[in-house]
Amino acid sequence: MLEPILIDVASLNLPALLPMAILVVGALAVICADLAVKGLNRSFLTMITVLFIILDFGAVIGYTGPARGFFDVLLVDGIAIIAQVIILVASALFLPLSLSHRHFREFRMAEFYALFMFMIVGFQCMVVSDNLILIFIGLETSSLALYTLIALHNRAKAFEAAIKYFTMGALAAGFYGMSALIFYALTGSVEIYQIEKVLMARHFEPLIGVLAATVFMLGALGFKLSLVPSHTWTPDVYEGSSAPLAGYMSVVPKIAGFVVAMRLFEMLVSSGVVWVEHILYAAVVLTMTLANLTALVQEDVKRMLAFSSISHAGFMMAAILIGTTQANTALFLYWTLFMFTNLGAFTMLWIVRHRKNLWDERYQHPYTKFSGLVKIMPTTATIMGIFMFALAGMPPFSVFWGKLYLISAAINSEFIFLAVIIALNSAIAVYYYMKLVIYMFLKEPVTADAKLYATNASTPLKVIVGVAVIFTIFAIVFVEPLLTVITKYVIASGF
Amino acid sequence: MEHILSLLVFFPAMAGLLGFLVAKESIRAYGISVSAIEFFLSIILWIGYDSTNAGYQFVEYYPFISSYGMSYYLGVDGISLFLVILSTFITMIALIALSIEKEIKNLIISVLFLEMTMVGVFVILDVIWFYAFWELSLVPMLYIIGAWGSVNRMYAAIKFFLYTFAGSVLMLVGILYMGFLYHEATGIWSFALPDWYLLQVPFETQLWLFGAFFLAFAIKVPMFPFHTWLPYAHGQAPTIGSIILAAVLLKMGSYGFVRFSLPLFPDASVYFLIPVAVICIIMVIYAAMIAYAQKDMKQVIAYSSISHMGIVVLGTFAMNAEGITGSIFLMLSHGIVSGALFMLVGVIYDRRHTKLMSDFGGLASVMPNFATIYGIMLMASVGLPLSIGFVGEFLSLVGFYRISWVMTLLAGTGIILGAVYMLVLYKKSFFGEVVHAENKTLKDLNAKELTALIPLVALVAILGIYPKPVLSVIDMSVQKMLVLMDQKAVLQETKELLFKANTIGGTN
Amino acid sequence: MENYLYTALFAPLASSLFVALFAARPKMLFTGIVASLLIAISMIASFVLLIDVNTYGPLHVSMMDWISAGNLEIPFGFVVDEVSVIMMVTVTLVSTIVHIYSIGYMDHDKSFNRFFSYLSAFVFSMMILVMSDNFVGLFIGWEGVGLCSWLLIGFWYHKHSASWAANEAFIMNRIADLGMLMGLFLIYWSVGSFQYDEFFASLKTMDSTLLATIGLFLFIGAMGKSAQFPLHTWLADAMEGPTPVSALIHAATMVTAGVYLVIRCGELYTLIPDVGFAIASLGAFVALFAASMALVNNDLKRIIAYSTLSQLGYMFVAAGLGAYWIALFHLMTHAFFKSLLFLGAGNVMHAMHDELNIKKMGGLYGSMKATAILMSVASVALAGIYPFAGFFSKDKILEVAFNEGAYFLWFALFIGAGLTAFYSFRLVMLVFFGEKEYEKYGIHPHEAQPFVIYALLPLGLLAIVSGFLEHTFEGFVTRLLAQYEIHIEHGTEALLIAATLGIALSGIAFAVYMYRRGGFPKSWEERFCYKLLSNQYYIPKLYELYIMRPFSALANFAWQKIDTKVVDLTVDLIAKMVYSTGEKSRKMQSGNLSDMLRWMVVGMIGLLILAFVYRPMV
Amino acid sequence: MITLTHYFILTGILFSIGLVGVMRRTNLLMLFFSTEILLNAINVGFVAVSKYYNDLSGQLFAFFIIAVAASEVAVGLGLLILWYKRNGSVDLNSLQMMKG
């Protein structure tokens, strides 16, 4: 004879669940609409999705309730909110890239948009929770959706990319589970804050257990954040998937991963377990440097950008390693600025995308494709150049300010060596960004036919590029307000 | 008038943007007029400059990332005033002499952007912004060298860009660390140079920071052994590129020494005085010898500017008003003279499409005016009294004599070796019989070239005979800076050396 | 009076600038005339100033500030005192004559105008040199005359040898100038000013080593300009320039600037007799050394150049031993007869169609008497025969040497006097008397235009009479310069004079005797010492071999080996290294899924192992 | 008597088997099986631990893992079939278009 369980609805704090709920509803709605009405135009679907994202955005912004909710598995703190904002903005900006001039099969299917929304839900779950289970679910939801989205691109390379990504993802999931298991076994809880409490009380004994758990977690997150040596999927997947998706992947999943990493590693780094710090240090340096070095020798711009995004992720891990408020602020600032720049860069690639690989039998965007572009399409070349300079951290463009703030964070907490390494890396990095600029501005064009470069251009794309350019050039203007907001939230959530 | 500095910095950029709308036929006229306006603005700046006040003038201050102490902070003092004027002047002259037809529009627009960065570097007082302009100045130069250069231009452009960029990233770290120190000391963030001037840095830290800044400046100057990008850059760059590079961009480095290294890290500067001086002497002699060995006229001048910059830096590290004032004046004179020399090489290159001295000979009889102006510039470059070249060189050497007479003697050999390679160059290409038939029909300077060159010649004479108005302005600010150094020095030895360096008499 | 000063100073500049306007044009006679007139005006002004100084004493004006930085203040200041006014008069006088002479001499030259522009510019620099009241001002003139001599030696720039000689002159002077600059710096840092008066005023307070250093540095500068050993080779080569230039610059004025400097700093050198003695010894050595080279040379102008060199040696002996006024006196008289000699040589050259080898002349007396007489007069003066100018000045120098007890120097000078007499008359004999060799070469010599000869007359006159001004001169200049008494009892003095005259006369006699009967036998030319002398002691060769060649070799090495092979290559290597590591790390990206998975797992296991083995202290 | 340790050992063994399989297998299908083994190994561990603590969240986790595993299989097989249709093999050495 069971007692009826009484749960006060207020204590569930459902509004905390609202953002995810909205998108789930949206996803279902899109599918149903597709069932009801045949042949919905992609523009309709895109815009509906964007609208739902905006609703979600509103819910995220609007929510300022008590931190925990829904059986206390949700933790809506400052970084969660910032992260969600970044995720949603990025999604809202990347999705309209579907409205390109040429038609692609996936964008005509309602499932694409449904999956897209589910993926966002997954990311949100990752960031708004400190419950390992929910994080796991979020991780898997988003990943599975993402695999499918990639595969939807329906090119041989896309399948290969999807399979590689999927398989490694499965392995990563295994690692995650293992790490969660060990933590659970050590502490009897799957709530990060509980785990932290217990471990603190026990001074992280048995240390080996903790370390093992950390190692597995590093493996799992390292895959998401593409840290060396789990980064190998990144270039292939980027190359295989369509430019918009690649750009999206370079920004959103990572930010979600960073939030999780923050929640987990902050505790370990601050715990004073030097081992973790050293390992992280090594991982950071390796990731930055190796990715940069490999990027030097790429022939394809998309692959180059993939490697560059790996090294950028390395910078971000540095922020987590440093772990001060300023560092975490720097992380979000950097990522916001990076998002806009990368958005621009990948959109440009999307615009110059041509049906056939005219320039190289394998690559879509080999450097040679861009040679002498300034003589064919000056504006395009200039814009692309600006994005490249921005990514290279050339002042006063966007990413420079993030890098500045990050290095300063490193210095202010006496990580001088790290700061120097970051600086040197950006010196190396400048070469491969310059390479594109040099091809565009200094080489002679291979073809005079401007049309080849504009086959996929359309008004929405141009608008998005415009937005990206404005943000990239006038980043200075946004840095100050961004800093204030981010700092406020980061401090609020005690990082 | 109070916003004239902002105007000076951003007017060329604005003009550059609008330049996209100007038709290709008239873009050259557009560029010249813009640079002329800019030049007159800078002259107005000089007129408005209060020469009795050693501090910063026309200051503009707007905080823009106040939470992190960044601000938009402009100001000009005796040290930077004339470098600003030099930049605008040289840009104007270079544009007047411009003889390129290919894609001239992009060229002129990038030159205008370059002008913005140059002026910006010299008038900006917020260090982050300084870094920004410093780095930005590379981009247009990269384009100019890479797009309008000769055969091997890609390599030269990339080398120039990467080398200088790599050099300056460490400076960024240094800057941020400096900001951190300031925050530690005062509890507030600031990247304003005048604020930093008030900060006393512990000795060991100074050494590290000096190093971080030194690399950037040394590569820009360029100091031995970081100089190898320069010959390539000059060898490949178009005339206008070489002119601006030699006349202004190199000065950014030496300006950095005066503006940052000395006042921010007085003890470190004194500590590293001798090593730096040794490098300078190597530059002077070594570069002069290499210049002698060259077969290409332009390379001779390229290496000669390394040699001269050696004296500039030497004068800067003389730690006394004579030397530093002299080195700043030498920056100006070298800017004018080397600019003119590169322009002259360009003139002959346009006619013969070769720069090898062996292809010339006897030019003096074919192109007398050309030969005359070349000779004047040559004499200015070897530092003949009453020419602009003498004043700076003399003062720099006088200044450094106080530090070490042996080193001054060694550096002084520069005036001998300078005469050697320059006179040999002149003899090879201007004297003797006209051996090559195609040289017999060469045209002498045309009106355009004369309009570009005459002002330079006039300056060489005027500033050589009456440099006082310039010197006194520089001198005042320099003395102020020396006082500052003395106050900031943490070591007794530093104070003693500064005292010794600035007083007459006593043992030597 | 200032107006006269400025006139004297700026008339030559005006002339130079005015003529420069026509530099590129073909010959215009008026340029020469205008130039000569302006120089003449300058000369008149100088004479006025001479009288003025004589009556009212020195004149000191400060025109404007030039350089000022830190404690340093350099004005354009000019002083006309007993020494500088003498120099001014000498310089302008000779210059005027040379200008007028040049109108004739450069008659057929297409760069007539350019020549006068340069010549006047030289006069201007020389005036700055002698008139300025501070060391840097002197240095301006110093470099200015250097520049002009470069321009004028290389005047016929199409001749390789000319431009080469010009560069050599300029560079050698630069070497010396560096020494001088060092001296100036030292002066500045010990006195705080470059003004003569302030420097001399504070001499007392400085210790002798400091003074000695200053003195040496300044003298190094003087060595360059006055072509003292070992920086002497440029002077002989400088004869590539037009003859009037040799007369004005490389005989009368510029080369004496070094002597002028030493005289000017007399107060300094009196305090450091050792340095003075060193200078004197070097002077004596050069006097002999140069004279010996003149003995065998066959080049008309080079012979005279060497004699100039040896006379400069005489002057340095006097100056070094503290007899400044005597040095100045010899400087003046020498200017007169030496320029006369050169100008005469110029006439001969014209007559011989620029043939310089005296072996190919001879018997020119018939066709050009005036020149022959003038040159003979000059030679006699040079040889120092009573009552010609040379006698008074040169004998004094010997007496000084004797008086100082420097018998060795005296002996050197004594021999020198003999040699001087010999080579001067060897020249006269070979050129004007004996066989008419030139007929073999089908040359028909002719006397120069009359006005040229008339222009030379004043010099001839001075060469004869100026000696008698000795006492007035002494009285005048010793107001400023140190007094110098010779206290040798009359007997010895008379003996000395007699001896000097004797050796000079015998030198002349020997020359006349030998060259009346066809000179020395050919066999002599095979002798070692003859070769040694005719090759100038092989010194130019040594410089060529051990300085110039190694320098250019080293330069090439520095460029091709060090700069490109070491420095630059290192830079590129670093870049290449980074790039190649990129290539290597690329292998990691095999694209094979199993490899990717292995990387992950291996990384994981590696970390686990690390967790076991590596435990840094917490 | 079976203690928690035994369960851990079992987990460890299964996990290692999974890892080895992941590394060794070149057949995609087998590869997916190995990943399943990994996950199931973890399940075992979770259930055991949750029993040990008398805490349900472990089993909760296990259930979610099962669910996730199922959906993974769905997606994975989908991809596999796509790939097979395209170039009739499930050997993962066949997907090497992209490298470098």
Model confidence over B97-145: pLDDT tens digits?
998 888 899 999 999 999 999 999 999 999 999 999 999 999 999 999 9
Q: Would residue D99 count as lying in a domain?
A: no
A217-221, B324-328, C532-536: the lowest-pLDDT one: C532-536
Q: How far is A341 from chain D (nearest CA, A)?
A: 25
Rounded to a whole number, what is the distance in Å from the CA of C12 to chain A's nearest CA?
Answer: 56
Instruction: Assign B361 a pLDDT band (cuts: 50, 70, 90).
Output: confident
Looking at the DSSP assignment, which residues form a beta bridge with residue C195? C134
Domain of residue A270: give its range. 13-492
Q: Does B154 touch chain A (CB under 8 A)?
A: yes
Amino acid at A427: A
Which pLDDT does position B507 carry in this prediction? 53
- Residues D75, D67: Cα–Cα separation, whole Å: 13
What does the pLDDT read at residue C167? 93
Flag whether pLDDT at C350 surpasses 90.
Answer: no
C591 → chain A, closest CA residue: A236
CATH number, domain at D51?
Answer: 1.10.287.3510
Nearest Cβ partner of D23 from C586, C590, C597?
A: C597
Mean pLDDT rounded to a whole number for chain B: 92
Touching chains, D (3+ CB pairs < 8 A):
A, C
Q: Look at A57-66, B76-85, B92-101, B158-167 and tell me which has the smallest mean pLDDT.
A: A57-66
Quote the CA–CA distance of A233 and B489 in Å, as a whole number: 55
Q: Are C362 and C437 in contact (CB under 8 A)?
A: yes
Q: Chains that contact C by 3+ CB pairs under 8 Å?
A: A, B, D
pLDDT for res C305: 92
Q: Does D70 touch chain A (CB under 8 A)?
A: no
* ipTM for this prediction: 0.91
| CB–CB contact A171 C597 (8 Å) | yes
State the total domains in chain B. Answer: 1
Q: How confident is the model at residue B209 (pLDDT cuts 50, 70, 90)?
A: very high
Q: Do B408 and C182 touch (CB under 8 A)?
A: yes
Q: Which residues pair with C74 in a beta bridge?
A: C67
Q: Is residue B145 part of a domain?
A: no
Decide if pLDDT at A65 tops 70.
no
The count of CB pairs under 8 A between chains B and C is 164
The verdict on residue D67 lying in a domain is yes
Nearest to B173, CA basis, from B138, B128, B203: B128
Check: CB of residue C395 under 8 Å from CB of residue C330: no
- C593 to D95: CB separation less than 8 angstroms, yes or no: yes
Q: Are C287 and C413 in contact (CB under 8 A)?
A: yes
Q: Is B131 on the interface with A (CB under 8 A)?
A: yes
Rounded distance between C-alpha atoms, residue B198 and residue B188, angstroms = 13
pLDDT of A273 over the 80 cut: no
Calpha distance B191→B69 (Å, rounded): 6
* Interface check A418 vs D, CB under 8 A: no
CA dihedral A435, A439, A441, A443 (to 10 degrees): 130
Distance CA B301, CA B377 (A): 11
Which of A405, A426, A442 is facing B157, going by the closest CB pair? Answer: A442
Direct distance between the N- and C-terminal alpha carbons of chain B, in angstroms, rounded to an integer? 48
Q: H or E element: which one contains B322?
A: helix B321-352
Residue of C nearest to D22 (CA): C597
Provide, rounded to the nearest whole percent, the portion of chain C with pLDDT above 90. 54
Least confident of B80-84, C172-176, C355-359, D35-39: C355-359
Q: Which residues of B touch C150 (CB under 8 A)?
A: 423
Q: How many domains does chain A have?
A: 1
DSSP A321-366: HH-SHHHHHHHHHHHHHHHHHHHHHHHHHHHT--SS--S-SS-SSB
Contacts of B174 in chain A (CB under 8 A): none
Supply the pLDDT for residue C110: 87
Residue D27 lies inside a defined structural domain of this protein: yes
Residue of D nearest to C595 (CA): D23
Report d(CA C247, CA C340) in Å as an integer. 8
Looking at the DSSP bridge assignments, the partners of residue A457 are: none
Neighbours of A50 (CB within 10 A): 16
CA–CA min distance B3, chain C (Å): 31
Measured in residues, chain A has a length of 495
Domain for residue B104, yes or no?
no
Instruction: Supply the pLDDT for residue B249.
Output: 93
Establish if B293 belongs to a structural domain. Answer: yes
Cβ of A193 under 8 Å from any chain D Cβ?
Answer: no
Looking at chain A, which residue has its C-alpha nearest residue B131? Answer: A395
Residue B508's pLDDT is 47
Closest Cβ–Cβ partner in A396, A400, A407 for B173: A407
Residue A349 has pLDDT above 60, yes or no: yes
The whole domain housing D37 covers 4-89
Residue A253 lies in a domain: yes
Q: What is the mean pLDDT of chain A?
A: 89
pLDDT at residue A2 in the model? 64
Cβ pair B472:C154 closer than 8 A: no
- Residue B495 in any domain: the answer is yes
365-384 in chain A: CB under 8 A from chain C: none
| Partner residue facing C592 (CB), from D22, D24, D96 | D96
- In three-state secondary structure terms, B64 is strand
SS3 B425: helix
All residues at 6 or more sequence positions from A146 whose CB lies less than 8 Å from its CB, including other chains: A119, A165, A249, A253
With H, G, I as helix, E, B as strand and everything else as coil, classify residue C77.
strand
Do D and C make contact via 3 or more CB pairs under 8 A? The reply is yes
D42: nearest CB among A164, A170, A181: A181
Q: Could you tell me if residue B370 is inside a domain? A: yes
C590 vs D23, D25, D99: nearest CB:
D99
Are residues A487 and B165, on separate chains, in Cβ contact within 8 Å?
no
**Residues of C with CB below 8 A from D33's CB?**
none
Count of domains observed in chain D = 1
pTM of whole model > 0.90?
A: yes
- Given a cut of 70, whether residue C618 has pLDDT beyond it is no
Q: Is B361 strand, coil or helix? A: coil
Task: Kindly indicate the confidence band of residue A66, based on its pLDDT and cuts at 50, 70 and 90.
Answer: low
- Nearest by CB to A278, which of C591, C597, C616? C616
Name the minimum distance, in Å, from the CA of D14 to any CA of chain A.
Answer: 12
Q: How confident is the model at residue C448 (pLDDT cuts 50, 70, 90)?
A: confident
Query: Is A2 within a domain?
Result: no
| Structural domain includes residue B236 | no
CA angle C580, C581, C587 (to 5 degrees): 100
pLDDT for residue B57 is more than 50: yes
CA–CA separation, B265 and B271 (whole Å): 10
Of the residues C586, C590, C593, C605, the best mutation for testing chain D's interface (the one with the most D CB atoms within 10 Å of its CB) is C593
| Interface C:A, ≥3 CB–CB pairs < 8 Å | yes
B59 assigned to some structural domain: no
Distance from C-alpha of B462 to C-alpha of D61, rounded to nearest angstrom: 87
Contact call for B and D: 3+ CB–CB distances under 8 Å: no
Indicate the helix (H) or strand (E) that contains B65. Answer: strand B57-65
Structure tokens at C590: 């095999």
- Residue C57, pLDDT > 70, answer yes
Instruction: For residues B21 and B16, give the distance between their C-alpha atoms in angstroms, rounded to a whole number.
Output: 10
The dihedral built from the CA positions of residue A402, A404, A406 and A412, taken in this order, carries a sign that is negative
Smallest CA–CA separation between B474 and chain A, in Å? 30
Contact C592 D93 (CB under 8 A): yes
Chain D interface includes A296 (CB < 8 A)? no
In a domain, A168, yes or no: yes
Taking CB atoms and an 8 Å limit, are A189 and D60 in contact across chains? Answer: no
Say which of B170, B173, B180 has its CB closest to residue A412: B180
Confidence of residue C141 (pLDDT cuts 50, 70, 90): very high
Mean per-residue pLDDT, A102-117: 89
Window from A206-210, A417-421, B57-61, C172-176 with minimum mean pLDDT: A206-210
pLDDT the model gives residue B438:
87
Distance from CA of C194 to the nearest CA of A (A): 50
Interface test with D, best of C588, C597, C600 (most D CBs within 10 A): C597
SS3 A75: strand
**pLDDT tens string B284-319:** 999 999 999 999 999 999 999 999 999 999 999 999
Determine the structural domain holding residue B485 and report its residue range.
Answer: 272-508
Contact D95/C at CB under 8 A: yes
